[in-house]
Amino acid sequence: MIQATTVRDCVAQARARLEQAGVDSPALSAEILTAHVLGMRRLDILVHADKAVAAPDLARIQECVERRAAGEPVAYLLGEKEFFGYDFYVDRFTLVPRPETELLIEAVQSIFPRDAAFQFADLGTGSGCIAVTLALEFPGAQGCALDLSEGALAVAQKNAERHGVASRVEMRHADFGSDFAPEASLDLIVSNPPYVSEDEYAEVSVEVADFEPKTALVPAEGEGRSDGLECVRRLAPHVARLLRPGGWFLMEYGWKQGPAVAEILGAVSEFQTVKICKDLAGLDRYVVAQKRV
């Protein structure tokens, strides 16, 4: 029970509660949640350390701290997560955007100049973080973003509007394995599909298992227990057809999946090159494939 009178006490008691609950980064979480409820920036906590905290704010901080203690990710408590320097709304219909996914954006930047006009698709858009960031980073780009989850698409649409790119990113409620753009000849297809196997899912933290949508993590495509690669197998020949000659396919996958992803994409004759790329920890993380010209 938080019984603080000042901002300083409040942060200290929130931190003690989160330490006791064993969550990661208790001090940081205590500061972020307190600042969020009080409508301050985190750094302002120091400036206003002696300020009194009103009872209704205390009750809201208490509620946030208890939810965090139960494992709820900070991003859901704030309703926001930063991705590539932009703030994105998130809720429990969407995966919390991960820093490693930013590598896909950097990879696109190494292919297309900022002023390029190109057509793209983002398969499994979730919060829309990839599609919206591409539209922001490439003012001449136009794309569509697909998801099977209507809840996720609503959040993605809000994010496109928030960042002023809704006219260039069309949200579509569709299966990414369907012929969602039969007449298209796309320059770029990007995807961070579900790629966690059932065995790996059994080991994920409470934060992930109890709060993030399983449909965003584990492929629902195949029969039986997922090995995590069903989406890749399904997407590989499909995206090759949708790309224009010389078009690009970039996809994130799990760090143990590099050799399997290389084999699956390598077997698709339309691809001229398939490059397995590593993240900052040196682990296989995403693939860059180019269709034959």
Ligand X SMILES: C[S@@+](CC[C@H](N)C(=O)[O-])C[C@H]1O[C@@H](n2cnc3c(N)ncnc32)[C@H](O)[C@@H]1O
**Residues annotated within a binding site for S-adenosyl-L-methionine:** 124-128, 147, 176, 192
- Closest to ligand X by CB, 193 vs 258, is 193
Question: Residues 50-89: x/- map of binding to ligand X (CB under 6 A)?
Answer: ----------------------------------------
- When asked if residue 175 is in the footprint of ligand X (CB under 6 A), the reply is yes
Binding piece for ligand X, criterion CB under 6 A, among 1-9, 146-154, 163-171, 257-265: 146-154
- When asked if residue 13 is in the footprint of ligand X (CB under 6 A), the reply is no
- When asked if residue 135 is in the footprint of ligand X (CB under 6 A), the reply is no
Q: Which of 158, 166, 117 is nearest to 138 (CA)?
A: 117
- When asked if residue 130 is in the footprint of ligand X (CB under 6 A), the reply is yes
CA–CA gap between residue 288 and residue 58 (Å, rounded): 49
Binding piece for ligand X, criterion CB under 6 A, among 58-66, 164-172, 187-195, 283-291: 187-195
Binding piece for ligand X, criterion CB under 6 A, among 39-47, 123-131, 266-274, 277-285: 123-131
Q: Which of 193, 131, 140, 118 is nearest to 160 (CA)?
A: 131
Report the run of H or E that residue 39 belongs to, with start and end.
none
According to CB under 6 A, which residues from 189 to 208 bind ligand X?
192-194
CA–CA gap between residue 67 and residue 180 (Å, rounded): 39
- Closest to ligand X by CB, 74 vs 146, is 146
- When asked if residue 188 is in the footprint of ligand X (CB under 6 A), the reply is no
Contacts of 124 (CB under 8 A, 6+ apart): 146, 147, 148, 176, 191, 192, 193, 194, 216, 231
Binding residue for ligand X, selected from 42, 158, 215, 238, defined by CB under 6 A: 215
- Closest to ligand X by CB, 99 vs 246, is 99
What's the closest the beta carbon of residue 2 comes to ligand X, in angstroms?
Answer: 33
Binding piece for ligand X, criterion CB under 6 A, among 32-40, 57-65, 124-132, 202-210: 124-132
Joined together, the tokens standing for residue 54 give 């009103």
CA–CA gap between residue 90 and residue 75 (Å, rounded): 7
Question: Mind giving me the DSSP string for 153-193?
Answer: HHHHHHHHHHTT-TTTEEEEE--TTS-SSTT--EEEEEE--
Q: Which residues pair with 170 in a beta bridge?
A: 144
According to CB under 6 A, which residues from 90 to 109 bind ligand X?
95, 97, 101
Binding piece for ligand X, criterion CB under 6 A, among 17-25, 70-78, 109-117, 127-135: 127-135
What's the closest the beta carbon of residue 229 comes to ligand X, in angstroms?
Answer: 13
- Closest to ligand X by CB, 34 vs 157, is 157
Torsion of CA 156, 254, 176, 215, to 10 degrees: -70
CA–CA gap between residue 18 and residue 28 (Å, rounded): 10
Buried b (16+ CB within 10 A) or exposed e, 247-283: bbbbbbbbeebbebbbebbeebebbeebebeebeeee
Question: 3-class SS at 264?
Answer: helix
Note the residues at the interface with ligand X (CB under 6 A). Answer: 95, 97, 101, 124-127, 129-130, 146-149, 152, 175-177, 192-194, 215-216
